[in-house]
Amino acid sequence: MANDPRNTLTMPYGQRVVWHDEVGSTNRVVLDLAEAGEPSGLWLVADRQTSGRGRGKRSWISDPGNLFASYLICLSSPAYELHGLPLVAGLALYDAVEKIFDEASTAFPLGLKWPNDLTCYGAKLGGILIETTSSPHKNSYPGVIGFGLNLKSAPLVPDQTTTSVSAQGVEVTRERALEFLGESLQHWLNVWQTSRNIEAVCSAWMERGIPLGSRLKVRGRSATPVEGRFAGLNDEGALLLDTAGEIVTVTFGDVDMLK
């Protein structure tokens, strides 16, 4: 339709947007397109997901009015680049929401929780799921960054507090939120991929993330959770946990903040 705001999106050069009324999972659709040869730079956005996915095979609740978007990126070396990609994606989501609040002339305490959550007042505001294909295509490895951002409503999630942009008294369209997200993602991809500046990425994440010394519980691949204090990030973006004087490197897991 001529007046559809999706037809007038302003995205960074090289980014293109495909919008669907309904898909099973935006990540799954983008992975299928990547395996068929789709080049980097594609955003796929859906009004509704019927089988949205989160980390650890969890489902992602897709309430109407929230943003569900997946971005296709081609990696030269997933063994190296996957370490930094979650930090880049987190920074992009944080900065996009900060721009939403700035445009509304307001501010709220945002935070990043390793490895993939955006919070506001400590409640989950958005999340990220990164997936890759199993084989290279034309000497690159396609990957997808899936973003979920609670714009209109906060889904009820067991054992987790959630919130939305609307709950802070700020209203924004999904189109405007996507424009901000595209800008922020392009910036941090340039810092990380073009300049190979993982140090700047880690430093920026630390400014927005968990305070040093915070007490954490990490539930990883082992049956027993590990508790300790946040000791920073290593040079590949892994979480460092101080467990009574021993520094443990965490590359995978769900993090709970402890009081």
Q: What is the CATH number of the domain that holds 228?
A: 2.30.30.100
**Domain identity same for 122 and 218:** no
**Domain identity same for 98 and 164:** yes
Q: How far is CA 219 from CA 65, 200, 211, 223, 250, in A?
A: 31, 28, 19, 8, 10
Please give the pLDDT value at position 137: 65
Q: What is the mean pLDDT of residues 141-160?
A: 90
pLDDT band at 259 (very low <50, low <70, confident <90, very high): confident
**Domain identity same for 136 and 251:** no
**Domain identity same for 202 and 229:** no
- The total number of structural domains in the chain stands at 2
How many of the other CB atoms lie within 10 Å of CB of 187? 15
Provide CB contacts within 8 A for 127, sequence distance 6+: 54, 55, 60, 116, 117, 118, 147, 148
State pLDDT tens for residues 168-184: 999 999 999 999 999 99
**Domain identity same for 108 and 228:** no
Backbone torsions φ then ψ of 243, nearest 5 degrees: -110, 90
**Domain identity same for 173 and 235:** no
Residue 142 CA to residue 37 CA, distance in Å, equals 9
**Domain identity same for 146 and 244:** no
Model confidence, pTM:
0.92
CATH, residue 110: 3.30.930.10
**Domain identity same for 164 and 150:** yes
> Which of 156 and 94 is assigned the larger pLDDT?
94
- Please say which residue of 170, 191, 207 terminates a domain: 207
**Domain identity same for 189 and 139:** yes
Q: What is the mean pLDDT of residues 56-78?
A: 78
> Which of 158 and 98 is assigned the larger pLDDT?
98
Q: Could you tell me if 207 and 245 are in contact, meaning their C-beta atoms sit under 8 angstroms apart?
A: no
Residue 120 CA to residue 107 CA, distance in Å, equals 10
**Domain identity same for 89 and 64:** yes
**Domain identity same for 219 and 203:** no
Q: Could you tell me if 141 and 74 are in contact, meaning their C-beta atoms sit under 8 angstroms apart?
A: yes
Please give the pLDDT value at position 49: 87
Q: Is the pLDDT of residue 115 over 90?
A: no
Residue 57 CA to residue 189 CA, distance in Å, equals 27
Please give the pLDDT value at position 219: 87
The amino acid occupying position 246 is E
**Domain identity same for 224 and 195:** no
Arithmetic mean of pLDDT over the chain:
88
Q: How far is CA 258 from CA 34, 124, 231, in A?
A: 40, 15, 15
Q: Which domain holds residue 170?
A: 5-207
